[in-house]
Structure 1
């Protein structure tokens, strides 16, 4: 007699996932950042709990449950700066928006989601960056050399290159000052030429934010004229203009007096 084996079909609940599309997010100073997070959705939001927190210290960045934001335990530095896409929650979108990114926003963020289908978490790394400002050009001339300098602010530390007119790399001077309270580096870079003409290109690269600034400079000066002589010449020119204006004013005034006397 053989035993009959009956196989019953077992129904397993659908797997629950929490994923982040971008595990590394470069965030730009002063601009909003969206930390993407997706989960297996459930149309019924009554049991949905979404929590964003810092992985380093477990500080609460944003919380949602009972079908509304719950911000009583939110860390103070995020007050009035965070939001979820509420209308997208039923589709499985738990992304977090942080307004006006600051230096301290850089770090690790945990997206923790729970609903009737399960619980899961995913990690996002936020890196802070600031686009470098338009480089400010200054030119310094003395009797033997001409110095071209660019100054700008941004973050993180940039790559600086000076190229000659034929594309060759040039030696240059670089000053990198510590971060300011705004989380920026002050960069001053200069190239000194011993020629009467300069044809160079200043290049600054912010690799984190894919920023590439190129500023060509072409100029020439007369080596026989020193800076002081040039300054004196400018002053004399200004004085001559004022004297000419004064002479014209006096001539017109005297002409008017004569005309009034004749009448």
Structure 2
């Protein structure tokens, strides 16, 4: 009985000393960049019995598997092909971290790190959130007879906070258009501020709170409405002249053809 009791105590101690942990329960992954899902386990002296499996919690899809001292990717989800790797040289230190290259929108979700070796079996859960930095805003200036419109266009994720300020830091009204590109994991943002004055002094601000991104683009423009009107008139006259020239060339060509036919 004493021998049996000692065996049970030894087994309990071995199991109790084995654990699998994720240092960070949440990881913010950025579009196009690699993401490292950290996972640590109680290492053993021998890797021959080590089995590591990373999988998605919601549907048990296999993200990466390692056993028999090498990667085993026959059952790997196709969406992760050629994108995942372990730090094999650090497995003996208890490092089961997974690297996912070039993060995509569908990489977001819950991941299970399952590890077993001669000391025991354990698992740990972590969440991956997806975000995309907004690109450099592209400026467009639209002029019509009544007003001037300043437009900025950019892409990122998630939906941002947009602010337009006037020269005295007062909030300005604006138009915001958002298109959802599901496959690319981006929102296309187009924002327009209409200004009635001849002197334009506005500041466009976009905030991506998830990634702590703050884009601020001031815009100053002094334009002459009369000059703009004159330019429009000049362009209209030039367009008419070009049309008349084309008509004249076509008429001369037809006249020449008719003269050639008459001479035959």
| Superposed displacement of residue 176, structure 1 | 0.5
Partner of 2:124: 122
Partner of 1:219: 221
| Superposed displacement of residue 205, structure 1 | 1.2
1:15 pairs, out of 17, 21, 32, with 17
Structure 2: state its 5+ residue gaps: 1-5, 239-264
Partner of 1:190: 192
Q: Deviations over 1:109-156 (max 9, x none)?
A: 101111122211111211111111111000111222111000011111
Partner of 2:169: 167
| Superposed displacement of residue 166, structure 1 | 2.3
Number of aligned pairs?
Answer: 228
Partner of 1:254: none
Matches within 5 A, 1:1-263: 12-13=13-14, 15-227=17-229, 229-233=230-234
* DSSP-derived class of the 1:31 partner: coil
Q: Deviations over 1:226-262 (max 9, x none)?
A: 45x324557999xxxxxxxxxxxxxxxxxxxxxxxxx
Cα contact 1:144–1:223 (8 A) shared by 2: no
Partner of 2:252: none
Report the Cα distance in structure 2 between the residues aligned to 1:191 and 1:63, rounded to whole angstroms.
53
Structure 1: state its 5+ residue gaps: 1-7, 238-263
Q: Deviations over 1:87-112 (max 9, x none)?
A: 01111110101111111111111011
* DSSP-derived class of the 1:121 partner: strand
TM normalised by structure 2 equals 0.81
Q: Which moved more, 1:156-165 or 1:10-19?
A: 10-19
Cα contact 1:37–1:95 (8 A) shared by 2: yes
Partner of 2:246: none
Report the Cα distance in structure 2 between the residues aligned to 1:170 and 1:42, rounded to whole angstroms.
64
* DSSP-derived class of the 1:77 partner: helix
Report the Cα distance in structure 1 between the residues aligned to 2:207 and 2:146, rounded to whole angstroms.
31
Cα contact 1:151–1:186 (8 A) shared by 2: yes
Report the Cα distance in structure 1 between the residues aligned to 2:134 and 2:233, rounded to whole angstroms.
37
TM normalised by structure 1 equals 0.81
Cα contact 1:153–1:187 (8 A) shared by 2: yes
* DSSP-derived class of the 1:45 partner: coil
CA-based RMSD: 2.0
| Superposed displacement of residue 181, structure 1 | 2.8
Q: Deviations over 1:25-48 (max 9, x none)?
A: 111111111111111122311111
Report the Cα distance in structure 2 between the residues aligned to 1:25 and 1:125, rounded to whole angstroms.
6
Q: Which is helix-richer, 1 or 2?
A: 2
